[in-house]
Amino acid sequence: MAVKKNATEAAGAAEKGKTVNNTTNDKKTDSGANNEATGGKKEGRETVTLAYIGPSLPAGLLKTNKILIGTREEIDKELAAVLEKYPLVGKMLVPVEKLAEKKDRAATAGNILNKYYTDIVSSIAANERKEE
């Protein structure tokens, strides 16, 4: 209930004639499929919460909208087999805070996320033809 506490503090400060700044100043650049940290620290590394916005991979390797939580190294280790077969999957892991925005970009032709998405679909089709 941090929001309620901040609102209460702000109301109390307003009554006392003080101002309270309870906003954060995050200056992060957005270059398409960047992977930003969310959450706290874990063993000196940042814990991230990422969502996969690419197409579902065959044999249940990775489903669309899967949420992954951990350090980036842990997530990469968990997805090692998938990333070996489909390297662009790493580009389709986005911070959950930007999920809606990034999914819209992935669906828009002419956008880099859309290109990654279609390249993964092409890779899936090529791999299925090889296996036949």
Which of 102 and 17 is assigned the larger pLDDT?
A: 102
Contact between 48 and 38 under an 8 Å Cβ cutoff? The reply is yes
The per-residue DSSP string of the chain comes to -HHHHHHHHHHHHHHHT--------------SS-----S-EETTEEEEEEEE-SPPPGGGS--TT-EEEEEHHHHHHHTHHHHHH-GGGGGGEEEGGGHHHHHHHHHSTTSHHHHHHHHHHHHHHHHHHHH-
Average pLDDT, the chain: 77
End-to-end CA distance of the chain: 55
pLDDT of residue 45: 82
Say yes or no to pLDDT of 6 above 60: no
pLDDT of residue 4: 41
Centre a 10 Å sphere on the Cβ of residue 108 and count the other Cβ atoms it contains: 10
Contact between 102 and 33 under an 8 Å Cβ cutoff? The reply is yes
Say yes or no to pLDDT of 15 above 50: no
Beta-ladder partners of 68: 50
The model carries a pTM of: 0.66
Confidence of residue 130 (pLDDT cuts 50, 70, 90): confident
Say yes or no to pLDDT of 27 above 90: no
Per the listing, tokens 């006392």 go with 16
Say yes or no to pLDDT of 12 above 60: no
pLDDT of residue 105: 94
Contact between 50 and 35 under an 8 Å Cβ cutoff? The reply is yes
